[in-house]
Structure 1
Amino acid sequence: MLTLLCLGGVGIAVLLYDEETKIDRAEPDQVTSSFLRTYLVNRSDDEAALYICASGAKLEEIAALRAENINREAQFGTSVSVVWESLTVAPATGGVTSVSVDLVITGSKGGVQTSSRTEPWSFQLIDQDGWRVCGATKEP
């Protein structure tokens, strides 16, 4: 009897863990935010891949931004952080949508802000068993 109770407890724990760690791709703005966090803040290609479309993603511009941030940190001994605001989702048409967002890029050194700029970006998403980022472009 005790063994059955333990096995039942393990099963429930696994189900709860699975539900808590499930990747949520239900909303385009949430996927865009998660992608930005994993790609620009955590700088993890493996984590970001969970939010990118299966093939044909055009992410060269956002990759260049991340490389620029890393280079600035190395060159100037600063810390570069990125936050985002004003996520606006366009109406979806045929499983395709876009999310406009302002990226706020801040440099700091020794706890003192040394620079800050805001860039408008557009992210293209496709519904592939949940929304996925398939493109990122800096707006003029």
Structure 2
Amino acid sequence: MPPPAGSQVSRVPAQRTPPEELAPPAVAPAPQRPRRRLRTVLIVVAGTLAALCLGGGLVGYLLYDKATTPDRSAPDVAVDNYLRAFLVDRNDVRANLFVCEGKTDLDQLDLLRSELFARQEQFGTTMSVTWGMLQIDQTDREAEVRVDLTFTAQVDGIRQTDRQSWKFITRLSDDWRVCSAARVD
């Protein structure tokens, strides 16, 4: 039907239904996450192994450090370790770990060791060095340590022994060190 004459009709544009492609997509269910149980287990195992290795390395280092650090905790301990390194093991590098830095007076002990070598070659024998109790006379940062050194050798089937009294002066800086040695008559 046409509109009556003389009336004004307002035209409203026709509304169209939007095409389906412009419509919001249907909500799809969230995809299920794949199970990562194996990955989690591997991460936990790897972390645990890393912690154990790190801890084991630290313990190993501390044990190694304790085993290789020379004991210079007391004057008699420093002298005992010095004598063992210098006269028994004949290891100058190790012996120097027990010696004072700077000026020392260990010439008499050097001479004694040289004489021991010469006697061993002369008589074709091995001389052993032992010592007994070390006596300490200590002040605040210095100590005198006295000890009797005993030298024993087997020459022509006869056991020979010589005993000498020695005094060592030790000083405390960070730890105790041997600074001088002299034979006591």
* TM-score, normalised by the number of residues in structure 2: 0.71
Please identify which structure carries the higher strand content.
Answer: 1
Counterpart among 103, 107, 115 of residue 160 in structure 2: 115
Question: Helix, strand or coil: the match of 2:116?
Answer: helix
Aligned to 1:7: 54
Structure 1 distance, partners of 2:89, 2:158, is 20
Bigger Rg, structure 1 or 2: 2
Aligned to 2:73: 26
Structure 2 distance, partners of 1:46, 1:17, is 19
Structure 2 distance, partners of 1:71, 1:83, is 18
Letter in 2 for 1:133: V
How much is the aligned-residue C-alpha RMSD, in angstroms?
A: 1.4
- Please say if 1:66 is aligned against 2:113: yes
Letter in 1 for 2:101: A
Structure 2 distance, partners of 1:56, 1:108, is 37
Aligned to 1:99: 145
How far has the Cα of 1:109 moved from its partner?
4.6
Counterpart among 82, 85, 89 of residue 132 in structure 2: 85
Gaps of 5+ in 1: none
Aligned to 1:53: 100
How far has the Cα of 1:91 moved from its partner?
2.2
- Please say if 1:138 is aligned against 2:183: yes
Letter in 2 for 1:106: T
Aligned length: 138
Structure 1 distance, partners of 2:173, 2:105, is 16
Check conservation: 1:106, 1:113, Cα contact below 8 A. Answer: no
Gaps of 5+ in 2: 1-46
How far has the Cα of 1:103 moved from its partner?
0.2
Aligned to 2:170: 125
Question: Helix, strand or coil: the match of 1:129?
Answer: coil
How far has the Cα of 1:136 moved from its partner?
0.3
Structure 2 distance, partners of 1:74, 1:34, is 26
Letter in 2 for 1:77: G
Q: Percent identity?
A: 36
Structure 2 distance, partners of 1:106, 1:118, is 9
Question: Helix, strand or coil: the match of 2:138?
Answer: coil
Q: Please give the per-residue CA displacement for 1:52-92, whole angstroms capped at 9, x wherever unaligned.
A: 00011100100011000111111110111110113100022
Structure 1 distance, partners of 2:112, 2:170, is 19
Q: Please give the per-residue CA displacement for 1:95-128, whole angstroms capped at 9, x wherever unaligned.
A: 1111000000111258x55310110000011112
Check conservation: 1:89, 1:98, Cα contact below 8 A. Answer: yes
